[in-house]
Structure 1
Amino acid sequence: MIVPRRVALRSLFALAVTAFTGGALARIAGAPPSGREPDDPSAFDEMYGGRRIQGRTGPSGEPVALVDGRPLHLMRCADGGYVSPLDHYESCPTPLAATRAAVDAAGSAPLSRYAAAHGVRPGGSPRGVHA
């Protein structure tokens, strides 16, 4: 039996649309709700000490932490841990632990909006240099 060309093209089109739609829906259904990668080891979003702390991996692979929406500078230590300018005496094993330690050290004081600009004063000049 010979299948007419029009029927074959319709069948191929329907098959392609079904495959594309199924693949797209599977990708959407499997995505985490926040839009971040599911294997991101630096990803967290929680309330701690009455503050909202968030973390993720930045574009160049470094961890990015926010406390109440303001950036917190995290530094990598030689031992593989992390410290922040607020609590730089003890190395923490993860960015989450370092962010929690910073919240504990800050108490109820808000972070400066310049907290992520390590070594830069509000006027934009480096420490010790006055314009």
Structure 2
Amino acid sequence: MNKITRRQALGTTAGALTVLGIAGATAHAAATDSRAAATTPAGTVDEVYMGRRIQISPASGGGHHGGHHGGAGMPSVRIDGRELHVMQNADGTWISVVNHYETYADPTSLARAAVRELQGSQLAPMQMGGM
């Protein structure tokens, strides 16, 4: 007769709980991601992600920061009304002041990653200019 050991039972239980946890987290992330807000003009985003409001609007006229860091192509990215400074790399990927070491395919992915990284903290105003 084949008997299951206590170690095998605990391992099986731990594995099943892990699978359930991953499935639950994936379902939560999918539900959170699908909460994009009502219709917005082309190129804009207004959504709630993980309880934080993300607003992205295309750049206008003179560009972000008077034309530096990419000029007229920089969108305005805000999290809960506070500006998230972003920059587009030469290869078309995006980075932010929250994390300069990871790149993202678009400003929406970048803003969502910043929300996750902030872990509930507010963005602090960025000091621009010299000393």
TM-score by length of 2: 0.57
Could you tell me the percent identity over the aligned residues?
35
Which protein is richer in strand relative to its size? Answer: 1
Contact 2:45 2:54 in 1 (8 A): yes
CA distance in 2 between counterparts of 1:96 and 1:80 reads: 14
Aligned-residue offset at 1:61: 3.0
* Runs of 4+ off more than 6 Å: none
CA deviation map 1:62-89 (0-9, x unaligned): 2110100111111111221111010211
Matched, 1:53 2:65: no
CA distance in 1 between counterparts of 2:56 and 2:122 reads: 18
Moved more, 92-101 or 55-64: 55-64
Matched, 1:79 2:91: yes
Structure 1 residue runs without a partner (length 5+): 1-31
CA distance in 1 between counterparts of 2:73 and 2:101 reads: 24
Aligned length: 83
TM-score by length of 1: 0.57
CA distance in 2 between counterparts of 1:101 and 1:79 reads: 19
The alignment yields a C-alpha RMSD, in angstroms, of: 1.9
SS in 2 for 1:98: helix
Contact 2:74 2:87 in 1 (8 A): no
Report the residue type matching 1:94 in the other structure. D
| Rg larger for | 1
* CA distance 1:33–1:50, change in 2 (3 Å): closer
* CA distance 1:50–1:73, change in 2 (3 Å): same
Aligned-residue offset at 1:52: 0.3
